[in-house]
Structure 1
Amino acid sequence: MSSPGSGKTTLLEHLHQHTSLRYAVIEGDLETSRDADRLQAQGIAAYQIQTGSACHLDAFMVHGALHHLPLDNLDICFVENVGNLVCPASYDVGTHKNIVLVSVPEGDDKIEKYPVMFRRADLVLLTKCDLLPHFDFSLEAAREQVAKLNPNAVVLEVSVKQPDTLAPVVAWLNSQMQ
């Protein structure tokens, strides 16, 4: 879950190159199948849900999408909710874990401005960290805000431009498979 443009789909594209976990993605967007098409082009099973005017997915939509994926051949099914820091946080779509992304260009203030999303997170990814020199974003402030709202959340810094930063994400995913 995250704002539009924070890097959800891009992260899922790049994780594919760094893990042996077999995964599929349920994509939620108001319109288009661009994100699912991008993932499928990388060999990742993906199913697109177009919500029309709805600002979030719901459990019924996710349930329907599951029937279109090869579940017997998967380790993980990611649900990429509609890009929005408000609505998706209030709806349980049946996920076992919640991963929230906030990107450097968005600013570190989004964590306190949209607390519900971060209170529900198991993992918070600070994305596009390669852009830190160009934005007023404090990693320390972001970490402190997450810890204040959700002391149990793991916070990791990532950038698909720096592939070594994906290893801790893969390690976290593997640890959750136990």
Structure 2
Amino acid sequence: AAALLLGMPSQAVAQGLRDFRGAGRRFEYKGTVKGAAVYDDYAHHPGELKALLETAASLGYQRVICAFQPHTYTRTKALFSEFAAVLQQADVTFLAEIFAAREKNEVGISSQDLAAAVPGARAAKNFDQLTQWLYDLARPGDLILTVGAGDIYTVGEELVRRGQMEST
């Protein structure tokens, strides 16, 4: 409506709406691996993570598998109990190492600490290990989410690449 009010041709508005695929890193479809759907999301705050996991749970998948990369040591420490509570909403939770961004770990927190607070969760030593865990676990009917503001999206991309290599 705003575009039409500004004088944009209706055909251009319609084409723009047809071409829009959503915002990058917000429930962004990456592909499949072994029949599991792989999506990436930028959620890095407990409120965003809660909204994502509640939405994912409502989509009818058999399992929701969340690979979460906490963002900054200070945020992880300050919101530790909130993260621990919300990460329990996934059927399976894996944690990547904390994405430090601009920080050094001066607060003494790790992803292993967070994993210990989430029943059944595991913290990976690196992205290779995390990717392997996800690959080994994937099956038809699963929704695999790579989540966080850091570089966790590369795990989902590698997972999909592995699935494509296996199917060729």
Q: Please indicate the TM-score interval, normalised by the length of the shorter structure.
A: 0.3 to 0.5
Q: Which has the higher contact order (CA 8 A, sep 6+)?
A: 2
Structure 1 length-normalised TM: 0.44
Bigger CA radius of gyration: 2
Query: How does the TM-score come out when normalised to structure 2?
Result: 0.46
